[in-house]
A and B are shown apart, each in its own frame.
Chain A
Amino acid sequence: MEIVFSSINDSAARFSITGTSQPFANALRRAMIGEVPTLAIEDVRIYDNTSALFDEMLGHRLGLIPIRTDLDCYIPQEKCSCEGAGCDRCSVMFTLSVEGPAMVYSRDLIPQDPRAAPAVDGIPIVKLTKDQKVVLEARAVLNSGRVHAKWQPTTTCGFKNYPIVEISDRCDACGQCVEECPRGILVVKGGRVTVVEGRLEECSLCRLCERACLNTGIGEEPAIRVRSDDSRFIFVVEGDGSLPVREIVQRALLYLKSQSDELCEKIGEVSGVTGDEEENE
């Protein structure tokens, strides 16, 4: 299996995986969305709220704020020795106290652990007028996106098959397909239609070019053919700021590895065979 990154930074990545299957690609996608844990605010204790928003709306807005997560420092609550009571291994406390007139921003949330601050500073939470006041205490815990979307480390996260565009010798460079292509990946060059360099990955496999080619009366078969490569996938992953995208991908792959190892072990236990039956990743 080969992974090639065409772009990567802390908030987004685009990469292709070669030599794998659709089920594996989907498993990776699902692991990135639902199995990589992050911190998010779960419990809010409201001491004073005279703003126009209800307490539960305030709590909901707080829950959606992405919080920078250091996964080496925190563990999920169910695995913690405090058994859900909340200690500094499994939760982060935040305090917020603002008096109006003011806009309450996510930067007004003061974390107990400065490493676990809100990932985005300028999220407006509520607007206060004169004499309005919000005083609260919030507790963020580690959990996974499978439980609630607020714990997802990713926003957009998806993949598609790698496109293959084949243009046969019957092409007469009429340019109909070039005009039809909504992504602009085709061009007439030297009496032939070719794919614009570096734009092949943009192809959405819509096959409008094939139809345009047939409409020119070329015969039963179009001169341009679009297929998808079943063993190569283009991934687009965007993070919400709580974790760098590189770490999301790494953690998801480690999760898949530990799951398949566990499966091997369990099968070994059941069948009584203790050999190394490797899972095909």
Chain B
Amino acid sequence: MSDEMIPPRKPPRQSVGLLVWSKNNLFASLPSTVATMLIVYGLYLSIPPVVQWALLDATWWGSDGTACSTDGACWAFVTARLEQFIYGFYPPEHQWRANVFFCQLVLLIGWLTIKATPGKKWVLGYSLVLMPLVSWWLLYGGLGLEIVATHQWGGLMLTLLLALCGMIASLPFGILLALGRRSDMPVIRALCTAYIEMWRGVPLITVLFMASVMLPLFVPEEVVFDKLLRALIGIVMFQAAYMAEVVRGGLQAIPKGQFEAFNSLGLSYWQGMVMIILPQAMKLVIPGVVNTFIALFKDTSLVLVIGLFDLLAIVQAGLNDPAWLGFAVEGYLFAGFVFWAFCYGISKYSQRLEQQLHQGR
């Protein structure tokens, strides 16, 4: 029985601090110690030479391959061709239009992702409906802007365009397919299931081949299909199947009571779907949609195979330039880094979003 309260004291020296942490996390057991040693040795062997090559000995500027020393990285290859990597073969005097396209993107994404900004529903609506049209007008031309043919589009601009348009266009189709797959009507359910399973079971390359080679056969001879449009159609049809599965997961998570509630109030199927069910379902599947977008962003590199010049293809083409031979590593590291930055950034955002949505529920 003690009336006096024990005042808090500091813990003994041995249980906290860097030394103790190291002991527990790096040297806890013999295998662990061995692993630590091996990794540290590996880092020691690899990091200094890489830093030496990539930063210290590197050449950053130059007009052709001879400007680069043989010891260090030749980043001049990247800096000299940066414009091409970003805009493809877009005529320089019109590149401001592409810049407006980029700015619009940054603005919209910023508005949608920062928590504090108001009016997100309007911005989302603009992004899904008006932005593709505005972007198309900016990049293609017409209505006061000079026309720039699609075969001149390329680089990062094309990659972003393919991924965004593919995503946005596949959303409505994916939603319809998901609703169809859950339908009570056997014919519709069978058709939607067949569509989804078919497009999910084949590689994107075969879809692109199909779109590129077979699409012109499917339409009357007079209709001429732009190559970019063919690729986009293939991508949208492919992506719609994956979107359908993601949306279907969200629909399954909506409790039956929501359906009964709007039914009992007298709302029709479509009224209930549009105003009650889909808003809730789409909110649930945002992380899934973002993951699908990341996959699509990586997959756009496949258009190289059908002759479109996305970022990877443009880098690849640059490597074949006689003025710049032998800098494959630099080129791929740069392209890899750009893709990595986008994908990693988006996936981190998606994780944060998932946490937020989890807490909100």
Our verdict on whether A and B bind, yes or no, reads no
The residues of B with any CB-CB pair to A shorter than 8 Å are: none
